[in-house]
Structure 1
Amino acid sequence: MADLPDADPIYHPPLDPYLTCHHQDADLLVFNKPSGLLSVPGRHPALSDSLLTRVQKEFPQALIVHRLDKDTSGVVLMSRNRRAHAFVAAQFEARTTKKSYVAEVWGRVAEAEGMIDLPLAIDPDHKPRHRVDLEHGKPAQTRWQVIGYGENRTRLRLFPQTGRTHQLRVHLQALGHVILGDEFYAEGEALAAADRLLLHAEELGFRHPNGSEVTFTAPTPF
């Protein structure tokens, strides 16, 4: 989802590369969204530039199937017709898609893997931030595994079982290991450790409208 309040015009999306298409066929388009670009335009005119806006200049019938946060990079899927859109969107709704992300987080995560099962809700006092809300939050689950260590940082692969707004960012904050460069949830050294949010949608698998099982991957840029 978009990270910027609709009334906030401070937005400088990357222009190079302008658009990176990894795959196209009669039904689907797959793009690698850069960090800093909205998935869809905001209501404020200053927020009009987005991945969808750019794609529709070349593919006017394109419809976005799912979104990434502005500061998250990686695989984004779009459809080229309403039949394909309904077919794939139903898989996201049913949570049968297979998604994996790569993140670098602050500190050394002691365990090799784990599951975070904490409900999430909008933080009404700090929109658009979200928070763990045990009483009113919507169910959210994230499986994770360690794939490497650096100096006071850990590289994780994340497997979200649900698709709540800011889910991975809030879950890792709750784990005690915020994502590096996260301007919403990190502070101090963890915020200053990277010049962007170190979260990337690496892989997306689902059933294509033609019936085949497909997986698309975008190389992690950090």
Structure 2
Amino acid sequence: MFLPDWKEILTKAWSIKLIILAAIFSGLSVFVSQTNADVLGLSPAMFAGLAAIINAGAFVARILAQKETTSFLKDTSGAVKKGAVGLLAGSAVALAATVSFVGGWEGRSLVAYQDVVGVWTICDGETLGVKKGDVRTADECDEMFEKRLIQFEAELDKCLFAVVPVPMKIALNSWAYNVGSGAACRSTLVKLANAGDLEGACHQLPRWNRAGGRVIKGLSNRRGAERALCLSAL
């Protein structure tokens, strides 16, 4: 999945321009090193000077592409601003991993059904606006699932201020998607994480194994897997 502003990044970001410049100079230096003055119709002195200039240009371009410069530091056209996007919106790999993990627990149905507490559900655990008789295609479910996971992460990020490892974030996204971002944000789990007790936060997950006031074995299994994933990153 491309970033939403990928076209602007390619056309305006200094990092892209400098990488292209470095590639051009590096390519020219390779060409010059493989030819000679006679082929180019130059005197040996001019040829040597040309080779030196091109190689010097390649060196400078590589420094500009890799080191901090005033122009590069001031440019923000290709940057992901802090807090602008979450892990899932900014990383196709993280989104795919979350889809795989959460989808394995949610299951998929292209036809609306009632869950264990009687709520109409479709696709991968989607309940928003779902009613009896609703039908979706696999592609519609894929699109809906990804968008809702990104949405739930954004809602969780409004209350989860702690910086957590990627596996832990995936586990917490799975939990929030299942229990709701409102309940997640009011939880002791988030309070512990924000206080810096990440291990304690992970151990809160098994407490969320009830639906309709009773313990659900499937939820217990899911919370156990989420806790294991959460702790694996610590």
Question: Normalising by the residue count of structure 2, what TM-score does the alignment of the two structures yield?
Answer: 0.24
With a CA cutoff of 8 Å and minimum separation of 6, indicate the structure with the bigger relative contact order.
1
Q: Which has the larger radius of gyration?
A: 2
